[in-house]
Structure 1
């Protein structure tokens, strides 16, 4: 897995009102949400980035009232998933 390091100024890091152990996880979720909203990554990729299952990420999108991008690729993934679980 590649590593990307994002440096956040101390004053901003201090302003994040989350327990220190939750900051990394929450920032991953928010980054995933933003990348999905911009159409940069598919729901499968962003759910992995967020550390969630695809279905958990779908719920997360709903909580944030984000419109879903459902592409032909998503349809193909869903069909393949359904066929493999029959």
Structure 2
């Protein structure tokens, strides 16, 4: 599924596309709809950058065994052994 963000929406919110994607990622992470990995990918950041963003906003990390498994799969898929 693709989402098209119109120029009108960007103008109304006075945000760039990257800023809007970041805000959506943060919101979905806070609501525990996105894992850390999913949110960082959606925001087009690496996980460390996204964690720093969360820390700057005093948003706690929620990290469970399923997220660990997802991260391990991602690392293996990228040959990070």
TM-score (norm 1): 0.70
Select the structure of larger CA radius of gyration: 1
How many equivalent residue pairs?
A: 77
Runs of 5+ unmatched residues, structure 2: none
Report SS of the residue matched to 1:60: helix
Structure 1 residue runs of 4 or more that deviate by more than 2 Å after TM superposition: 5-10, 12-15, 74-81
Runs of 5+ in structure 1 lacking a partner?
Answer: none
In structure 2, how many angstroms separate the alpha carbons of the residues matched to 1:15 and 1:29?
13
Q: What's the C-alpha RMSD, in Å, of the aligned pairs?
A: 2.7
User: Could you say what secondary structure the match of 1:69 adopts?
Assistant: coil
Return the TM-score normalized by structure 2.
0.74
